[in-house]
Structures are given as structure tokens and as C-alpha cells.
Amino acid sequence: MKKSSVSFILIGEGDETERKADQFASYFLISPSSLYRMVEEIRENANRTHLEVEDIIKLGQFYGISHKAMLYRLRNDGYLDAEEIKNMDISVIETASRLGYDTSLYRPLSESKKEMVLGHYIKSTEQLLENNRISQGKYEELLLDAFRYDIVYGLDEEGELSFD
């Protein structure tokens, strides 16, 4: 397999901000009990005790975090040791693609999506409007604060007006 200089930095090396972001993401998005259940399910289904790179990619895809953040979490929680981590230095994009996963998780966001809020905030804003708790103007203001011009102005992914 091809080595990847982009997708993998040994834990404890590299940019301090990136390491902290990976650590935060891995603990914020994944509860210990959820990770334990997923790892045990993988081990049981594969009839083995160790995790392979394909398993790490599966976990990262399931939780929606980077390969590096997933490795960080698995190492810190004792599911992987330093030697196993070295074997995970592969082309993540190529491997994820071969496994049939969407590879957008491993690619930088486009400029139009770098400042975009997703998830609960948007749904909550919609519910406030539907329940007449906020006005249409306040709804649009909240969406614009969340950089969701696409929703307010009806723009498609390329930033063009959508007439669907």
C-alpha cells in the first residue's frame, strides 16, 4: 500500500493545533461506551482481538472523524499500541475508496463550506420557526449567523440560485 504524507501524523508530532483538534473531536464525538461497543462488535464479527486499518476506517466513517483523530482515540483508550499505529500509515483516501466509503471526510473542505454550521443548530432553528417561536426575519438572521446563505437565499452547492 502507498504511504500517505497528508492523512497521518504520528500522535504527539506535528502541528499543536491539529493535535488538539483531533483530541477534542475524538472525545467530543465518541462516548467511551459507544466506542467500546463498536470495537467489541468488530472484534467479535471478525473473530480476532486486534484492529486492522479497515476497522479504523470503518470506525472513523461511523463517527465522522478523521483517520488521525480515530487513531489518537484508539491509542489513548488502549485499543492500539505504538507498534500497531505504525502499521496504520497508509493512503487513507485510497483505502477508504477501495472499501466503498465516501472520501470527503479525508479531504479539505471547499472554501464555501469552511464556515458552515451543520446539525442540531439548523434543525433547532427550523423548529423554532415552525412553532412560531421566532419570526421569518429572525430565522434568516440565525441562519446567516451560521453561514447558511445557501438556505436563506436558496443556493445550490456551486453557489448558484436553485429554482427547484
Based on the domain organization, do 99 and 32 belong to the same domain? yes
Query: Under DSSP, is residue 139 helix (H, G, I), strand (E, B) or coil?
Result: helix
User: Is residue 151 packed enough to be buried (19+ CB in 10 Å), middle (13-18) or exposed (0-12)?
Assistant: middle
- What is the model's pLDDT at position 68? 86
One domain for residues 123 and 136: yes
User: Are 68 and 83 members of one domain?
Assistant: yes
CA-based R_g, the chain, Å: 19
3 found inside a domain: no
Let me know if residue 9 belongs to a domain: no
Q: Considering the domain boundaries, does residue 119 fall inside one?
A: yes
**Which is higher by pLDDT, 106 or 18?**
106
Tally of domains within the chain: 2
Same domain, 72 and 92: yes
Helix or strand holding residue 21 (H, E): helix 16-28
Please, what is the average pLDDT of the chain? Answer: 80
Name the H helices within 64-135. Answer: 67-76, 82-86, 92-98, 120-130
Q: Which pTM was predicted?
A: 0.60
- Whether residue 6 is contained in a domain is answered as no
Q: How far apart are CA 97 and CA 91, in angstroms?
A: 10
State which residues form the domain around 54.
16-108
Which percentage of the chain shows pLDDT scores above 70? 79
Q: What is the pLDDT of residue 25?
A: 75
User: Which grid coordinates are listed for 159?
Assistant: 453557489
Find out whether 146 and 133 touch, Cβ atoms under 8 Å. Answer: no
| Rounded-to-integer distance, Cα 2 and Cα 6, Å | 12
Domain annotation covers residue 84: yes
Q: What is the pLDDT of residue 5?
A: 34
Are 65 and 25 a contacting pair, CB within 8 Å? yes
Confidence check: pLDDT of 102 > 60: yes
Q: Residue 38 has what pLDDT?
A: 95
Contact between residue 50 and residue 78 where contact means Cβ atoms under 8 Å apart: no
Is 77 a domain residue?
Answer: yes
Domain-embedded: residue 28? yes
85-95 pLDDT tens trace: 888 878 888 99
CB 2 within 8 A of CB 98: no
Residue 77 has pLDDT above 90, yes or no: yes
Judge if 117 and 103 occupy the same domain: no
How many Å apart are CA 13 and CA 136, to the nearest integer?
48
Q: Output the pLDDT for position 118.
A: 63
